[in-house]
Chains A and B, each alone.
Chain A
Amino acid sequence: MKITYIHHSSFFVELETMALLFDYTEGILPEINKDKPLFVFSSHRHGDHYSPKILDLSKKYDTIHLVLSDDISIKHLPEPIANHITYMKPGAECGFLLREGIISELAKEGGAADLEVSTFRSTDEGVAFIIKAEGKILYHAGDLNNWYWEGEPDDWNQNMAKQYSEEVDKMEGIKFDVAFLPLDPRQENAFYLGFHEFMNKNQVNWVFPMHCWGDFSVIQKLKNMEVSNPYEDRIINIKEDGESFIIG
């Protein structure tokens, strides 16, 4: 599995039989076999997670399907892509089959899928995704995070923490191969809270920090904190846009 950090919260994941693109807004995509099915995920409508540019990917890739949070509203939907979009609300599940270069969505309880998607409610807007494909499990948080802000009322922050914990607790027992988690320097001293809780509660082989706003120093900052000792070696130290990693 090859993972390329595109920009902000966007990652490109190349598997054996398909490719996955998360929360693309800008940046350079790696060159891939255009015949390989491409799934494009957008966790919510905010401008740093969704761009209408993804609609134009259908001009470039023959087999493509978009999985969008249902808070994303698209006007003037281009005809070629209109039949290749699945909207998902929080707490939903769907599956897809790959057959002879065609992606087809499975009906509910339609049997084994080549790619399974389940969603969780973000503490901001939209959803977080869990993806199961080729025996691997990936998690992209979108904006599901403990958005603790200095200066907000205590009850606001407490409610935020509670909502975040409730969603993370729903994932108990899942063994993630890869997780993409927000690590936002704007939260100052609280920058690691959501990240740490997720890593503390779940089994994750590799974790990619995201939503860093270009300030990748927060990654080393977390690695240097004693609290991250149990998982610091599993944190990918992203240094720049376009960096690729091969997961063995």
Chain B
Amino acid sequence: MKLTTKKLVLTGLAVLAMATISACGSKTTETTAAATEAVTTEATTTEEATTVEESTTEEATTLESSKEATTEETTTEAAESTSVEAETTKAAN
């Protein structure tokens, strides 16, 4: 199916021929479940699976909000753009 091919290319997935995709272009129920199990096993059997780290920067953009969401009066005052250390690994599902 044309669209299926397109979505798979866009998401960079290598999926078996019989696999289908979800509405958002994510993996099938079957493949997702399999992947989850694999990661879960890894997470529960090794300490290295915990990869949550703490950032060291405190800078933030301050936004002053108008309470009237229905109007166009809300202002965005960007103090300074942040430069926070962060991982930039592309997600792939």
- Please report A residues at the B interface, Cβ cutoff 8 Å: 2, 4, 6-8, 24-31, 45-48, 50-53, 55-57, 59-60, 72-76, 78, 123-125, 143, 145, 147, 149-152, 160, 175-177, 182, 184, 186, 203-206, 211, 213-214, 229-231, 233-234, 236, 239-248
Contacts and interface: CB of A to CB of B under 8 A. Distances in A.
Contacts, number: 192
Kindly name the residue among B36, B66, B87 whose own CB sees the greatest number of chain A CB atoms within 10 A.
B36
B90 A52 contact: no
A52 B65 contact: no
A179 to B, nearest CB: 10
Interface of B: 1-3, 6-7, 10-11, 22-27, 29, 32-33, 35-37, 39-44, 49-57, 59-67, 69-70, 72, 74-76, 81-82, 84-93
Contacts of A72: 36
A103 to B, nearest CB: 19
B22 A53 contact: no
Nearest to B43: A52
A145 B69 CA distance: 21
B interface, over-half SS:
loop
A203 B26 CA distance: 30
A203 B36 contact: no
Given A26-B91, A246-B61, A46 B22 contact: yes
A152 B20 CA distance: 13
Nearest to A230: B72
A46 B40 CA distance: 13
A52 B40 contact: yes
Contacts of B26: 46-48, 124-125, 143
Nearest to B62: A246
A204 B65 CA distance: 10
A76 B44 contact: yes
A248 B63 CA distance: 6
Given A47-B93, A245-B63, A29 B87 contact: no
A69 to B, nearest CB: 13
